[in-house]
Amino acid sequence: MNVTTVRLQPEIEESLQAMAGEQRRTKSWLINEALRKYIQHQEQEQVRWQGTLVAMESVAQGHTMSNEAVHSWLGSWGDSEELPSPKAGE
């Protein structure tokens, strides 16, 4: 395991120390957990952004569907005769 030094603002250090005591965890564990969640969040955001770019390109190429087709499909959810999802151009 690598060691990294971080300068913490006094109020963050105090909160971290208190939280570590309350949770019976080390400050190192809490920092690692926070960073793990932050990195995971950033990776998910990157995946969403790439999906947005793909969707924008699809729209730019004219691959869209009508508002009516989408609303009809959504309105049929849970119905015994649920409609299939609309396709581009409908």
pLDDT, one tens digit per residue, over 39-62 is: 999 999 999 999 999 999 999 998
Number of folded domains that form the chain: 1
Percent of the chain exceeding pLDDT 70 equals 99
Buried-state track 23-48, b at ≥16 Cβ within 10 A, e below 16: eeeeeeebeeeeeeeeeeeeeeeeee
Q: Measured between alpha carbons, how far is 34 from 19 in angstroms, rounded to an integer?
A: 12
Task: Read off the pTM.
Answer: 0.68
In a domain, 86, yes or no: no
Q: Is residue 60 part of a domain?
A: yes
Residue 82 pLDDT greater than 80, yes or no: yes
37 domain residue, yes or no: yes
- Domain of residue 19: give its range: 10-75
Q: Is residue 5 part of a domain?
A: no
Q: Which residue has the higher pLDDT, 63 or 36?
A: 36
For position 88, what pLDDT does the model report?
83
DSSP 79: S
